Amino acid sequence: MRSSGGRLKLRLWQAAVLLAVFCAWHALTVPGVLPPFYFEDPNKAAFFFGEPLKVLGRIWDWFSGGDIYRHLWVTLQETLLAFATGTVLGIAIGIWLALAPTASAILDPYIKALNAMPRVILAPIFMVWFGLGMLSKVALGVTLVFFIVFFNVFQGVREVSPTVLANARMLGASRRQLLRHVYLPSAMSWVFASLHNSVGLAFVGAVVGEYLGSSEGVGYLILQAEGVFDINTVFAGILVLTAFALALDALVALAERRLMVWQPRSGETERI
């Protein structure tokens, strides 16, 4: 386990890398800091890649003025609804098909076909079906989240130890008790492994939906900025979205640590 001193050193290195990236960005885009090497006109670099100080200034204006909170709240609602709905459906259908071999065999080619389809192309269809409001963004996010959770749960239930199942049945465990005490614990580690990816995809679904058609949300802000070639606002929106996604992932990691306390840590099983 990493010591507190080691964690602090790691955080300092991570902060140093971030600072170095911003310094390099500033040096490459502000005229006069470095001689031009990509564009003959040094002002073009700022036009195409933005200026970090102006980007940070735009983020500060958003938060200090309060303009961003309404858009963040809309994006958060869409993300959480898509994440929760896709996760519940993925767990329920994954467990059902894992325990129903006949139904699994019948639906297998259709599930694989749907998973292979680029779900982003469904966004215009969902907008026709559900309108430009929140529901169409949630529907797109659900299609992105569902398959990741489904395949992980399906695999987790299928990999339950036959010895554990046999012992539980010998002790008189009912089907419901097997589901609660054997299948679900086996699937939980697989579920949380998938949630780190699925929360990001729920976020992607919400933002892409906003970008393609909406009147609010952070994706809408980026779309409006692109329409007037305001590259600094575009990068400001991207940085806000990135920080937002990292915060959501941190919440999933926190929930995993709280709910998976029963799982042995790395190396503990070898010492038993």
pLDDT digits (tens, 9 = 90+) for 199-236: 888 888 888 888 777 778 888 888 888 777 888 888 88
Contact 138, 202 (CB under 8 A): no
Which of 4-13, 134-143, 189-198, 199-208 has the lowest average pLDDT? Answer: 189-198
HEC profile for 67-119?
HHHHHHHHHHHHHHHHHHHHHHHHHHHHHHHHCCHHHHHHHHHHHHHHHHCCH
Predicted local confidence at residue 41, as pLDDT: 60
- The two tokens of residue 118 are 């680029």
pLDDT at residue 257 above 80?
A: no
Mean pLDDT for 97-121 is 84
Tell me the CATH class for 64-261. mainly alpha
Q: Which residue has the higher pLDDT, 233 or 257?
A: 233
Q: What contacts 91, CB < 8 A, 6 or more positions away?
A: 149, 153, 187, 191
d(CA 249, CA 194): 11
Q: Which residue is it, tokens 């659900």?
A: 142
Give the C-alpha distances (Å, rounded to integers) separating 135 from 64, 94, 183, 236: 30, 24, 33, 26
What pLDDT is attached to residue 56? 86
Region 180-192: what's the mean pLDDT?
69
**Which parts of the chain fold into alpha helices (H)?**
4-29, 42-49, 52-65, 67-98, 101-116, 123-130, 134-158, 162-170, 175-178, 184-212, 218-227, 231-259, 268-271
Res 272 pLDDT > 60: no
Of residues 22 and 170, more confidence is placed in: 22
The pLDDT of residue 266: 44
pLDDT higher than threshold 80 for residue 2: no
Question: Domain residues of the chain, as ranges?
Answer: 1-49, 64-261
Q: CA-to-CA distance for 28 and 44, rounded, in angstroms?
A: 11
The whole-number pLDDT of residue 43 equals 62
How far from the centroid of its chain's Cα atoms is residue 34's Cα? 37
Using CB atoms within 10 Å of the CB of residue 135, give its burial: 0 to 12 exposed, 13 to 18 middle, 19+ buried: middle
Which one of 127-141, 156-170, 252-266 scores highest in mean pLDDT? 127-141
Check: CB of residue 125 under 8 Å from CB of residue 175: no
pLDDT in tens, 21-69: 888 877 777 765 555 555 556 566 666 777 788 888 888 888 888 778 8
Task: Specify the pLDDT at position 169.
Answer: 66
Side-chain half-sphere exposure of 173, counting CA atoms within 13 A: 17
